Amino acid sequence: MVALLKKRIKLCALLAAAGILTSAGTPAAANGGEPSVSAKAAVLMTADNSTVLYEKAAEEKLPMASTTKIMTALLTLEAAQAEDRQVKITDEMVRVEGSSMGLKPGNVVTLTALAQGMLLCSGNDAANAAAIAIAGSTEEFAKLMNQRAKQIGMKNTNFVTPSGLDDENHYTTAYDMALLGACAMENQRFREIASQKSMQVQFVEPDMKYTFGNHNRLLTAYEGCIGVKTGFTKKSGRCLVSCAERDGVRLVAVTLNAPDDWNDHKAMLDYGFSKVKQVSFDDTALGLQVPVVGGVRDSISVNGAFTAGASVLAEEESGIEKRIEVPAFLYAPVRKGQTVGKLTYEINGKVLASVDLLAGEDLPAQIKQKSLWERFLDWFR
């Protein structure tokens, strides 16, 4: 196995106007400006690297009401990306209490329309219909939800219902919901729907469009808000997951059982944006020389594939390091653009961003010249 050459380099001098973040799972250091929230549990997190900026009872298991539909809608839109098939609504699909997008047995809608109904008007009927259409039953769909939760890193969450209606075994944590919110907002179609203040939803049968308003008031009340979902039951109280973006920084805020959730989120997001900046790491002209065996030259120049970025806190700028991983040597031929290593930017072992290292040029293999004896033998062949 080819040995790896690893290098760590401090970035203080390279990031004159940048910042850095605390390690994941740790609240931002108190600076007299931490928000005071009404929520029983809360988390504020950077979306790109899951850095916790503020937390309150972040790992306490609590019900999450209709914020559950973030997961249901995400899975539905992923299924729709493969095939946005039409769903004929049955009695079983609409046999659910609570908020509704107005589905009736015999209606025909697409999976995308069901996701729109979940994210805009929080339709329990839409969540039920999607679950049954995709997995055959709400129980089987819950298995898919829990599988995806594990993939995301939601270690203290268990889904039972696709809509978020109360169940003793249906719970999450504020931290887990922040991970889910960040993941869901990476999906372009999910983000497009969740960011709309209102939207026309097309039904196939009847062939009509219905306009639904979004329950998320922060879309109009907070500058930069781009999602995601509200929730409420008597047991869970008011639940809210929000996402806002300013100057390249994307934050996710979560409150569970929050009497004053709108103001909680405004305070948390204001706090986060006052602390965090977006920093660019540009090594597209790195010019690192890597030895090459059997080539027309002894080494080749490698560069970062693209300019990376990360949300960071200003007060710990000096802790940023970049780690270069390349083989001790390469074998010719090497093609321009060939991936030859990896460049990672990190703080205290936590990865902020990473890019591939690419060969900056072609390096052909050296052609071996035949000896006089070999050429003499060739003459007789």
pLDDT digits (tens, 9 = 90+) for 135-183: 999 999 999 999 999 999 999 999 999 999 999 999 999 999 999 999 9
Q: Which residues pair with 251 in a beta bridge?
A: 46, 244
Q: What is the pTM of this model?
A: 0.82
Residue 258 has pLDDT above 70, yes or no: yes
Confidence class of residue 373 from pLDDT cuts 50, 70 and 90? low
| CB within 8 Å of 362: residues ≥ 6 apart | 333, 334, 335, 336
Q: ω into residue 292 within 30 of 0, thus cis?
A: no
pLDDT digits (tens, 9 = 90+) for 309-322: 899 887 777 788 99
Q: How confident is the model over 128-141, as a mean pLDDT?
A: 98
Domain 41-259's class?
alpha beta
Amino acid 8: pLDDT: 43
Amino acid 143: pLDDT: 99
Amino acid 9: pLDDT: 44
Q: How confident is the model over 339-359, as a mean pLDDT?
A: 92
| CB within 8 Å of 109: residues ≥ 6 apart | 86, 87, 89, 103, 117, 129, 201, 202, 203, 204
Q: How far is CA 276 from CA 19, 179, 181, 216, in A?
A: 7, 18, 19, 24
Confidence class of residue 20 from pLDDT cuts 50, 70 and 90? very low
> Which one is predicted more confidently, 308 or 179?
179
Name the DSSP letter for residue 244.
E
Q: Which of 217, 205, 224, 221 is nearest to 272 (CA)?
A: 224
Residue 96 has pLDDT above 80, yes or no: yes
Share of the chain above pLDDT 70, in %: 88
Rounded Cα–Cα distance for residues 18 and 333 (Å):
39
Confidence class of residue 379 from pLDDT cuts 50, 70 and 90? low
Amino acid 19: pLDDT: 32
pLDDT digits (tens, 9 = 90+) for 319-329: 889 999 999 99
Q: Hey, what amino acid is at 135?
A: A
Question: Are the C-beta atoms of residues 43 and 334 closer than 8 Å to each other?
Answer: no
Where on the phi/psi map is residue 294: left (φ > 0), alpha (ψ -120 to 50), or beta? left
DSSP H helices in 222-260: none
Residue 357 has pLDDT above 80, yes or no: yes
pLDDT digits (tens, 9 = 90+) for 29-78: 344 489 999 999 999 999 999 999 999 999 999 999 999 999 999 999 99
Write down the architecture of domain 4-19+281-359 according to CATH: Sandwich (2.60)
Burial class (CB in 10 A: 0-12, 13-18, 19+), 72: buried
Sequence ranges of the chain with CATH classification 2.60.410.10: 4-19+281-359
Enumerate the active-site residues.
66, 69, 122
Positions at the binding site for substrate: 229
pLDDT digits (tens, 9 = 90+) for 24-43: 333 333 444 899 999 999 99
Q: What is the mean pLDDT of the chain?
A: 90
Amino acid 315: pLDDT: 79
Positions at the binding site: 229
Residue 7 has pLDDT above 50, yes or no: no
Residue 342 has pLDDT above 70, yes or no: yes
Residue 111 has pLDDT above 80, yes or no: yes
Q: How confident is the model over 175-193, as a mean pLDDT?
A: 98
Confidence class of residue 347 from pLDDT cuts 50, 70 and 90? confident
Sequence ranges of the chain with CATH classification 3.40.710.10: 41-259
Amino acid 18: pLDDT: 33
Full 3-state SS string of 294-340: CECCCEEEEEECCCEEEEEEHHHHHHCEEEEEEECCEECCECCCCEE
Q: How far is CA 142 from CA 81, 131, 137, 148, 179, in A?
A: 20, 8, 9, 10, 18
Amino acid 378: pLDDT: 67
| 238 SS3 class | strand
